[in-house]
Amino acid sequence: MDSGSSAYLSMADPFLVEALQNPRHRLTILRMELDIQKFLQSSDVQQFEYPHFPTSYLHLAAHRVPQHYGLQTMVQDSVVDGQGAKIPVTRKPESKYPGVRLSDIPPKQSNSGIKVFH
């Protein structure tokens, strides 16, 4: 890993870095980030909502990704529709694009320098 990559890693939540380096979760995390970027671009929309995620790991990621952008998250139980907990995301005055986007964090590489995908 070069010094540029390690600088990226130090500017992001260690949980998100680990999730991004896990081939099983990387695409889901990047999709979450894309949803947040679209939300930030639409200034007329004040709240975005993630659906229920199947695992507690992804549920935690659905809180950490918006927080990386300075957004506020909550948990909203949806007992009525049986869908499980949803995660509303709202803007705060300090919400903005971070210095390091999650998509800038490289995937973990094997010892041979070849990217590993499972």
* Tens-place pLDDT, residues 40-88: 999 888 899 998 888 999 999 999 999 999 999 998 776 555 567 789 9
Could you tell me which residue, 94 or 30, shows the higher pLDDT?
Answer: 30
pTM to 2 decimal places: 0.80
DSSP 3-state assignment of 48?
Answer: strand
CA gap 19, 107 in Å, rounded = 10
Q: What is the 3-state secondary structure (H, E, C) of 29-41?
A: HHHHHHHHHHHHH
Question: Distance between alpha carbon 107 and the CA centroid of its chain, in Å?
Answer: 14
What region does 113 belong to: left with phi over 0, alpha with psi -120 to 50, or beta?
left
Most confident of 2-11, 19-28, 105-114: 19-28
Q: Which range, of 23-27, 35-39, 74-78, 110-114, averages the lowest pLDDT?
A: 110-114
* Tens-place pLDDT, residues 95-116: 999 999 999 998 887 655 555 5
What is the set of domains in the chain, with CATH numbers? 3-97 (3.30.1370)
72-73 vs 47-50, strand pairing mode: unpaired
CA gap 81, 84 in Å, rounded = 8
Q: Is 45 exposed, middle or buried (0-12, 13-18, 19+ CB in 10 A)?
A: exposed
Return the amino acid letter for 61.
A
